[in-house]
Structure 1
Amino acid sequence: MKQLTTMWGSAISRSPLVQPTARVPTLVDRARRGIATGGHYVVPKPFNEPNFHYFKGSPERQKLITALKDLRSQLPVQVPARGGPTSSQAQKNAQPVSMPMPSEHGTVFAQYADASGSDVSDAIESALTAKLAWQDMPFTDRAAIFLRAAELVSGKYRYELMAATMLGQGKNAWQAEIDAAAELADFFRFNVGFAQEIYDKQPTINSHGHHGRTDWRPLEGFVYAISPFNFTAIGGNLISAPALMGNVVVWKPSPMSVYPSYLVHKILLEAGLPPGVIQLINGDPEVVTQKVFEHREFSALSFIGSSSVFRSLYSKAAEGVVSNRYRDLPRMVGETSGKNFHLVHPSADIENAAKHTIRASFEYSGQKCSACSRIYIPQSQASAFLDVMKRELNAVKVGPPEDFENFLGPVINQAAFDKITKAIDSANKDDQLVRVTGGTYDGSKGLFIDPTLYVSKTPDHPLFEQELFGPVLVAHIYPDAEFDDVLGVIDRQGGNFALTGAIFSNDQAAVRKAENRLRYAAGNFYVNCKTTGAVIGQQSFGGSRSSGTCDKAGSVNLLMRFTAPRTLKEEYNKLENVMYPSNL
């Protein structure tokens, strides 16, 4: 059997009856020639991926253990400078960069090739070359690729993705499940649904003889996506949101997540994504960013990471705008840091509030942008609250994610470990802080920090402002009668961040007061619920102030940022007279 190749580069079997010169028409070819099925298509309704819980003896736990062992046997995994079926001599000759395993820093988890400036330029041009065919592909066909990818994520690649996330990013089984399996599949499915909503937004009122339409164009150039280490799913969202709308993307993942990101890209290609549409590139962020920001067709930044890095990128883009370097005014879409809070009201269920606080502050070692790192406790309930915290934390285990009993794993790398432990050492000697639990760590084999809680003697300690991105929580105990005052304190504190916050209260008037007074203190606000764990389709995610542009991942709003709508008007009648009736 001979093979033909489509314009996407995929092989198609050809029988001997097919003439040698015949070319298999692509979907775009068929649409342009009018050879297409008719009808207005509606994509399937999205749904949240059901979670497995990995109970002892369960089939899913055994499958995950097998995947972990298989991945262990392949270490260090090799990742090219560019994902997909592209390779340059520079990639082949590049000195590999090694990424240690956070839970076992003597073991190299991944090695990736460092992209050169020419690799980056080639990736940009390859994306732009693919752009016309991709944006002209019918939406139903673009959607099918991401829906197919969701099935691959939740099925064929589920345990492989989870194993990569556990070993490479230090997540335990549950955290890997809700990230690399469930949330990634959710992003692909729900983004398709959000895109359908956008395309369905058309004028509903037309004058007699007139017809108005909206063409939801993609951006004219390319999108630059930068994803962080802490969520495999985030990378999938940063690239799928713009790509679904017909954009092409240059994707730079964090060095600490190069292998899971490589798997996500591999899955998309297997699902039918044309190779040029999303260009995965690994390397020095300065090199990649410089080439991107020099290019005339840079149209948008899609970023999740630290606030300081986002500010720097914003400034670089502004320089290009001022010098008239770009054809477009680049969209800056960012979700960044947080110094998130829990507020406990005197009426709260203290047991519930404490348990939620432990999960919010210490799951994934506090390395979620939504993690709680400051808490305000009423004086009448402080003793009871702290007793529950100490009791529950005594049962919490810290260690490698492959041991299913461990609740906390490592922090991501040596730099993070050094930053957090330096702050802990300082806090342990600070006479303005009372250590309740933790304040200890062990970096001899892995980068492990025990869950740490301090009570501050003053409400204005620097720990209420400093984002550590680790398992450190600071508490302020306030007089019950000063609940109204503490609302103002919460709003002012937090390093000028405004990402997530929560109140625990059984007094609805207090809940209403907090919601109103703290309206701008958090983009995601929770009642009797921890600050972590927004579910796509149920709570969109994103904050403002220094926490980002509040474009709300997991919503229609984010996808609309990657469109350049064109308004069209058509008239069916004729203009009979130049003069207005009032002129006659």
Structure 2
Amino acid sequence: MINYDLYIDGKWMASTGSSRIEVEDPATRQVIGSVPRGTKEDVDKAVAAAKKAFPEWSRTSAKERGRILRKVGDLMEQRKTDFARVISLELGMPIRHVEKWHLKSSIREAVYFAHMAENFEYEYEAEGGWVRREPFGVIAGLTPWNYPMEQITMKLFPAIAAGNCVVLKPSQATPLCACMLANIFEDAGLPPGVFNIVTGAGGEVGNCLALHRDVDMLTFTGSTSAGKEVGALALSTVKKITLELGGKSPLIVLPDADFRAAAEEAVYSVFMNTGQTCCAYTRMLVPRKNKEEIESFLAEEAGRYKVGAPSDPDSDIGPLISKRAFERVKGYIEKGIEEGARMLVGEVPGEIKKGYYVKPVIFTDVTNDMTIAREEIFGPVLSVISYDTVEEAVEIANDTPYGLDSAVYGPAEEAYEVGCRIRAGGVHINGADAHITCPFGGYKESGLGREGGTFGFEEYLEVKSVFGK
């Protein structure tokens, strides 16, 4: 059993409440640990600790902040095997894929934002005075379970590097790796109060943080519905918010594209992490005349993925995170069949046995008005939609309330031109990977603000004009 208390002001301490949240291994449905169900009083303590630590931390040199963050990255690298084991247990991702999908980016972010802190231009002269960038103060971070480490570090590292103090509420489904990170920061020499963890339920701890008047900024990643709720609470005290929310991302396959490569990318994007990825390309838009050829590539590629226990070194796809997620995804699969989509790959899930396993599904003959094409499923379900003209493909791609990510396969110049017409925060041309130097975030109901790059660092800095002669 892996049990933790709250981490406040550089110390592990019991909650003021008596309730605890059990953490379940979704592959076996066995309890593997627990954390406190934090209370309003716990939130008050953590925010007070962060507020107290802020003046000194904000005056700490950028060089020193960068040094500590680099040490954090070094320690994460040294302990990545332990992190991978815990993430695999609480999330259910096969152990052989955890390091690539959940740890490498976090370690890289530590170095990147250390360098950013050390080299950022915090003040420059303008006509009539100076423009300064200063840390906000106390940042509340509410993070999801699907990327339980990377979603924390993408917020935490730039916030702390910029001179802020943080109170983190990790997901109650995957809090254990977050608590491990507290030990890393302590060993790296971070002063008490700069980083605090209050575990608990989102509607309790998360809402308390959103409403707290001593919290200067709230950053949230999760569903669009939850983001709207917590964002409205935060705005009631007029604090800054950033929201990274849902997606229904399109992958447009142009008529002259490499169809096999496009099929490989779509399947990889939607199947890995058991489809629990907000920017997965869950809508694949294909030329109608090439539909059958592309379907054959999709079916062939899907056959390469093995569903199995996270501990199995040959497994690619593990279970969904919870019973609720299983029932949700099963409902969408049934809805797809009911609305007339044809199942090219997969099956309707049966009863839950040992774990929350769902075999990946590929639907074809999907139209963009079907439920499976409109709503975020958050499971390994790919919808293939046919189009007749590229103009129609762009219209279908943009016909969604979301705008998080997208992809285009085809001749480079044409793919770039089509990609620029997609209303989304990111476009990947012919399989290009995302990079930390470029901002990530969404249009429309996919969010507010950006993570990564200079934009992601600047989110955690206030703007001040100083007028003088």
TM bucket, shorter chain: over 0.9
Encode CA deviations 1:205-231: one digit per residue, 9 max, x unaligned: 779xxxx54443211x41110011111
**Residues 1:488 and 2:395 aligned together:** yes
Q: After TM superposition, give the deviation of residue 87 of structure 1 in Å.
A: 4.9
Q: Cα deviations across residues 551-580 of structure 1 (Å, max 9, x unaligned)?
A: 331111122122123334565xxxxxxxxx
Aligned AA for 1:338?
A: G
Q: Which residue of 2 aligns with 1:523?
A: 425
| Other-structure match for 2:146 | 230
**Structure 1 letter corresponding to 2:142:** I
Q: 1:399: Cα distance to partner?
A: 1.1
1:120 corresponds in structure 2 to 43
Query: What are the equivalent positions in structure 2 for 1:399-410 lying under 5 Å apart?
Result: 399-410=308-319
- Are 2:23 and 2:174, in contact at CA under 8 Å, matched by a contact in 1? no
Take 1:563 and 1:513, find their aligned partners in 2: how far apart are those partners?
34
Instruction: Report deviation, 1:409.
Output: 1.0
Q: Report matched runs for 1:340-379 at 5 Å.
A: 340-379=249-288
Which residue of the partner structure matches residue 173 of structure 1? 95
The whole-number CA distance in structure 2 between the counterparts of 1:151 and 1:265 is: 14
Of 500, 505, 508 in structure 1, the residue corresponding to residue 410 of structure 2 is: 505
Structure-2 separation of matches of 1:348 and 1:89: 58
Q: Distance in 1 between matches of 2:436 and 2:417?
A: 27
1:293-317 CA-to-partner distances (Å, cap 9, x unmatched) read: 4432221111111111110112112
Q: Is the 8 A contact 2:63 2:117 kept in 1?
A: no
Deviation at 1:123, TM superposition (A): 0.9
Amino acid at match of 1:96: R
Q: What is the one-letter code of the residue matched to 2:413?
A: Q
1:374–1:464 contact (8 Å) kept in structure 2? yes
Secondary structure of residue in 1 paired with 2:192: coil
Q: 1:292 aligns with which of 201, 209, 217?
A: 209
2:435 to 535, 549, 555: 535
- Paired residue for 2:223? 306
Q: Which residue of 2 aligns with 1:131?
A: 54
How far apart are 1:318 and its partner, in Å?
Answer: 2.8
Map 1:122-521 onto structure 2 (within 5 A): 122-155=45-78, 157-199=79-121, 202-203=124-125, 213-219=130-136, 221-231=137-147, 232-320=149-237, 329-430=238-339, 432-441=340-349, 443-456=352-365, 458-479=367-388, 482-492=389-399, 494=400, 496-506=401-411, 508-509=413-414, 511-518=415-422, 521=423
Question: For residues 202-257 of structure 1, what are the alpha-carbon distances to aligned partners after superposition, in whole Å with 9 as ceiling and x for unaligned?
Answer: 23x779xxxx54443211x4111001111111102212211111111111000122
CA shift, 1:445, in A, is: 0.7
**Whole-Å Cα distance in 2 between the matches of residues 474 and 277 of structure 1?**
44
Q: Which amino acid aligns with 1:541?
A: F
Sequence identity (%):
21
CA contact (8 A) 1:439 1:453 kept: no
How much has 1:464 moved relative to structure 2? 1.2
SS at match of 2:23: strand
- 1:190 is paired with a residue whose SS is helix
Measured at CA, do residues 259 and 90 of structure 1 come closer, stay the same or move farther in structure 2, by a change above 3 Å?
Answer: closer
Query: How big is the shift at 1:459?
Result: 3.9
Q: Give how far 1:115 is off.
A: 1.5
Question: Is 1:95 matched up with 2:4?
Answer: no
The offset of 1:84, in angstroms, is: 6.8
Contact 1:81 1:283 in 2 (8 A): no
Aligned length: 467
Mind listing any 5+ residue stretches in structure 1 that lack a counterpart? 1-75, 321-328, 572-584
How many angstroms apart in 2 are the aligned matches of 1:129 and 1:459?
52
Q: Report the CA distance shift for 1:306/1:290 in structure 2 as closer, same or farther (over 3 A).
A: closer
Measured after TM superposition, the shift of residue 475 of structure 1 is 1.1
TM-score for the superposition, normalised by structure 1 = 0.76
How far apart are the structure 2 equivalents of 1:512 and 1:118?
A: 52
Per-residue CA distance 1:269-300 (angstroms, 9 max, x = gap): 11111121111110122222343244322211
Q: How far has the Cα of 1:441 moved from its partner? A: 3.0
Which residue, out of 450, 454, 461, partners 1:556? Answer: 454
Could you say which structure has the larger radius of gyration? 1
For 1:418, give the aligned amino acid.
E
TM-score by length of 2: 0.94
* Whole-angstrom CA distance in 2 between matches of 1:163 and 1:449: 22
Structure 2 unpaired stretches of 5+: none
Give secondary structure in 2 for the equivalent of 1:236. Answer: helix
Partner of 1:582: none
Deviations 1:416-438 (A, max 9, x none): 111001111232344x2111011
The CA deviation at 1:201 is 5.3
SS in 2 for 1:100: strand
Confirm or deny: 8 A CA contact 1:88 1:119 kept in the other structure: no
Pair 332,402 (structure 1): closer, same or farther in 2 beyond 3 Å: same
CA 1:516–1:184: 2 relative to 1, 3 Å:
closer
Tell me what 1:80 maps to: 5
Secondary structure of residue in 2 paired with 1:257 = coil
Q: Cα distance 1:247–1:476, how it changes in 2: closer, same or farther (>3 A)? A: same
Check the 8 A contact 1:344/1:503 in 2, yes or no.
yes
Indicate the SS of the match to 1:522: coil
Residues 250, 280 of structure 1: 8 Å contact kept: yes
Q: Distance in 2 between matches of 1:200 and 1:131?
A: 18
Change (3 A) 1:83 1:440: farther
2: CA distance, partners of 1:267 / 1:191: 17
In the TM superposition, 1:2-13 aligns within 5 A as none
> What CA deviation, in whole Å up to 9, does each residue of 1:33-57 have, x standing for no partner?
xxxxxxxxxxxxxxxxxxxxxxxxx
What one-letter code is carried by the residue in structure 1 that aligns with 2:444?
A: R
1:503 is aligned with what amino acid?
A: V
Give SS of 1:441's match. coil
Alignment-derived partner of residue 47 in structure 1:
none
